[in-house]
Amino acid sequence: MRPSDLLQPRPEGLYCPPGDFFIDPVKPVDKALITHGHSDHARAGHGAVLATRETLDIMAIRCGESFAGSTQAAALGEEIAINGVSVTFYPAGHVLGSAQIRVAHSGQSIVASGDYKRRADPTCRGFEPVSCDVFITEATFGLPVFRHPDDREEIATLLKSVAQFPERTHLVGAYSLGKAQRVIRLLRDAGYSEPIFIHGALQRLCDYYATQGIDLGVLEPATVDKGGKTDFAGRIVVGPPSAFSDRWGRRFVDPVSAFASGWMRIRQRAKQRGVELPLILSDHADWDELVATISETGAGEVWVTHGREEAIVRWCQINGIAARPLHLVGYEDEGD
């Protein structure tokens, strides 16, 4: 059996012919295995969905309870047989509930890692390298120029600005699943114990994180209905990046606009978005993490997807690892 007989790209997503299932399909299918809850990977409308308990819960919160015909929770490390194909979920370190999926059949094993990162994240389980014949890696930040700094330094920059401008409101743009909760938890770890104000779009996911044992401290809704605008002077408000460019964002007094994203490494991007305080905080592996992970899996072959495939493919070839881009379509990560 060739690896491409076990998993192959189709317009709907990665397909396993012997198992008759898709991984993170972008169109409705009969059987879907889902790596994590970001909207480009976790879509509603499939017949049956297999994912971690947390990913199923997150999908229900975001897409409604009836997001799939039926659901099955996969425990991490538990081997599940689907039409004779062995399937096992392992932590990916990307967001709460995120998993890599190992698919094995007839002596051939492939790990579809979904989105992942390697640095410690207090809001989810750390990535575990899984040995395999073929490793499928993302390449969102797959260029040597992308080296993410220490997240504590970025949070320290934010807190320094808050101290420096006590009369201004700090608006922190952060994607609603994963990044927002990570920013809030990192602020708590840095000793910030004031209430943090959140946009309504974050409420249910923040509540869910709290039920999973991730203490986010005191969160209050960032509504200005009661009281005056000056209520938010010196405060930190966290919301989805899009919220700060609409009417909601304009109610705050002389705000400092911050944005937590791996793309903030690129000054031009920060400028284009009108970001005054770029925070380089990514839920994706940077260049060093990508190449270290490829080495650790021991895979003889690497398939590269979502992003800058060419540089990673080149790096593999130089290092004696067969590699090719997968050209999957429909993945624009909402949580970079």
| Number of neighbours of residue 198 by Cβ within 10 angstroms | 25
| Count of residues in the chain | 336
Cβ pair 63, 55 in contact under 8 A: no
- Closer to Zn ion by CB, 129 or 335: give it: 335
Q: 109-127: string of b/e by CB count within 10 Å (b at 16+)?
A: bbbbbbbbbbeebebbbeb
For the residues of 208-242, what is the DSSP string, one character each? HHHHTT-----EEE---SSS-GGGGTT-EEEE-GG
Nearest to 180 by CA among 159, 161, 208: 208
C-alpha 43/C-alpha 106 separation (Å) is 30
In the complex, the smallest distance separating the C-beta of residue 94 from Zn ion, rounded to whole angstroms, is 6
- Closer to Zn ion by CB, 154 or 336: give it: 336
In the complex, the smallest distance separating the C-beta of residue 124 from Zn ion, rounded to whole angstroms, is 11
In the complex, the smallest distance separating the C-beta of residue 224 from Zn ion, rounded to whole angstroms, is 32
Cβ pair 190, 156 in contact under 8 A: yes
Q: For residues 67, 211, 336 and 116, what is the CA-based torsion angle, rounded to 10 degrees?
A: -90
In the complex, the smallest distance separating the C-beta of residue 96 from Zn ion, rounded to whole angstroms, is 11
In the complex, the smallest distance separating the C-beta of residue 115 from Zn ion, rounded to whole angstroms, is 4
In the complex, the smallest distance separating the C-beta of residue 335 from Zn ion, rounded to whole angstroms, is 4
C-alpha 248/C-alpha 253 separation (Å) is 12
- Closer to Zn ion by CB, 38 or 199: give it: 38
For the residues of 151-186, what is the DSSP string, one character each? HHHHHHHHHHHHHH-TTS-EEEE--TTTHHHHHHHH
- Closer to Zn ion by CB, 169 or 282: give it: 282
Which residues are at the interface with Zn ion (CB under 5 A)? 38, 115, 333, 335
- Closer to Zn ion by CB, 57 or 115: give it: 115
- Closer to Zn ion by CB, 40 or 231: give it: 40
